[in-house]
Amino acid sequence: MVDRDVGAALAALEAHRVEIGHHTMAEFFAQDARRFERLSLRLGDMLFDYSKHRINDATLAHLLSLARAAKLEEKRAALFSGEAVNVSEHRPALHMALRNFSGRKVMVAGRDVMPDIFAMREKVYGFAKGIRSGAFRGATGKPFTDIVNIGIGGSDLGPAMAARALSPFAQKGLRLHFVSNVDGADLSDTLAGLDLATVLFIVSSKTFTTQETMTNAASARARLVAALGESAVGDHFAAVSTKLDLVERFGIRDDRVFGFWDWVGGRYSIWSSIGLALAIAIGPDNFDDFLRGGHEVDDHFTQAPLHENIPVIMGLLGIWYRNIWGFGTHAVIPYDQRLARFPAYLQQLDMESNGKSVRREGGPVKMSTAPVIWGEPGTNGQHAFFQMLHQGTDIVPVDFLVAAEPIDADAHHHRLLFSNCLAQAEALMRGRSRGDVDAMLAKSGMNADEAAQLAPHKVFAGNRPSSMILYRRLDPMMLGRLIALYEHKVFVQSAIWDINAFDQWGVELGKELASRLAPIVSDDKADLSALDASTAGLIDYRRKLLS
């Protein structure tokens, strides 16, 4: 019954696209003086403007019908109630509990997990305070000046992105570094010039077996031991992990081990102890504000009607373009240099969550799923890939993010930045017609033949969709809001596609093969006959290069 209802809703959307496809956004604005007011939503000081989209009231009605046909509200309730929505791993997805300030219990397997969350958060905060105050010092008695977080995936992307975004709120004299790549250059370049006597390493790995993380951790440990001796390990290492036996074997003390739970997925783990480096940098009060921003969005997502619900509208617009218009990519362009890593963070959040071709019950997905998520900060992107956004053959929906006021930045610069952001969104929507180009060239005095040759190159089709997220300033609470908005947008789309947004089996095959190949690559005499011809040929050629 659900499949039939979803199919009917999709068919109605397809017919509707044909009906309005020849109309432009510029026409919609000309016909409706209140379009901006009607197609924008607010949450606190944040505004979400979705008026520059190929939609009208009927579009929204059809999209909301699709959401109800896919049982979005029921699936949302199941998510927040602690049901095992991660069906392939038989567990809930309750990262929202990590930012729960409601006073309500959160039950997992019949037990309220909130006391455990509060206790672990206090342990994180106590350690952060000790590092920040200098009460906790290195083996030689010097206070820590550099924090090196060693992780990968969610254990790196989240803390690294957030630390950059919130750098104005970081304590002076404490520098954060992030190592993720198993390429030894990453660790070597990070440690170059650092005094190991003032470095704290945080090893972030739930299982304490992640190949890239543990290889880097072992190398960091060896460097520290060479410089300060074996006894220094306990003073210079902390761990975010649940494997206490492996952590103890590494030499990390119990009071410097911070856990989290299997119902917290890696790409959702910034809210947990994985945020230890961030908590040290910005302090417990600011980290609390970060959590509260996420909680505010949770309340909005669960309580606002679907037609006034920002993550719901974000998700449905994505469905409109991915499944009805066939647009294969989505760009996120923050007009904030400190959000430089935000598009990369969203790549994992979106593409690892929804990059699936199997439905929750195991059958094949009947629609296209996750688009390619990409982006760079403006204004750099304007001088790189915006040419394609404006005049390329593919249409790319865009999310623009911008603050009304800067933090620790020149006001004049920010006015130029803000103007550029608005200009790009307007240009994508309006474009420039052949008639406007002809008039402009004629006014410039260009002769008719030259103008006729040049004019086609200066035409912009326009009618290219974008959303604008505008907020007062990028502070910890606002960053928490942004992350939670996109988390719930991703969930909305997973509900429509009927896929599990909380597993990542596609990551595992490469890991397995890398583990099998590592000893073969390390042994120049290893037999290659069992490998495919390409893999064997590449290993053999590497041997020749190194011989």
Q: How far apart are the first and last CA of the chain?
A: 65
Catalytic residue among 352, 487, 488, 489: 352
Using CB atoms within 10 Å of the CB of residue 133, give its burial: 0 to 12 exposed, 13 to 18 middle, 19+ buried: exposed
Of the CA atoms within 13 Å of residue 39, those in its CB half-sphere come to: 24
Query: What is the CB neighbour count within 10 angstroms for residue 442?
Result: 13
Contact 12, 59 (CB under 8 A): no
Among this protein's residues, is 376 annotated catalytic?
A: no
Among this protein's residues, is 83 annotated catalytic?
A: no
Is the CA virtual torsion 72, 73, 77, 83 positive or negative?
A: negative
Max Cα-Cα span within the chain: 82
Distance, CA of 268 to CA of 349 (rounded, Å) = 8
Cα-trace Rg, the chain = 26
* Backbone φ, ψ for residue 49 (5° rounding): -100, 115
Partners of residue 195 on adjacent β-strands: none
Catalytic residue among 22, 383, 412, 544: 383
Distance, CA of 159 to CA of 190 (rounded, Å) = 16
Among this protein's residues, is 511 annotated catalytic?
A: yes
* Backbone φ, ψ for residue 11 (5° rounding): -65, -40
Task: Give the dihedral of Cα atoms 411, 414, 418, 421; nearest 10 deg.
Answer: 170
Report strand pairing: 466-471 vs 46-49: antiparallel
Distance, CA of 290 to CA of 258 (rounded, Å) = 19
Is the CA virtual torsion 96, 98, 101, 103 positive or negative?
A: positive
CA distance readout (Å), 264 to 3, 94, 210: 30, 6, 17
Distance, CA of 22 to CA of 306 (rounded, Å) = 28
Query: What is the CB neighbour count within 10 angstroms for residue 121?
Result: 21
198-211 exposure pattern, b = at least 16 Cβ within 10 A, e = fewer: bbbbbbbbbebebe
E-strand stretches of 306-456: 329-334, 372-374, 398-403
CA distance readout (Å), 132 to 16, 157, 193, 283: 58, 23, 22, 8
Distance, CA of 54 to CA of 481 (rounded, Å) = 26
By annotation, the residues acting in catalysis are: 352, 383, 511
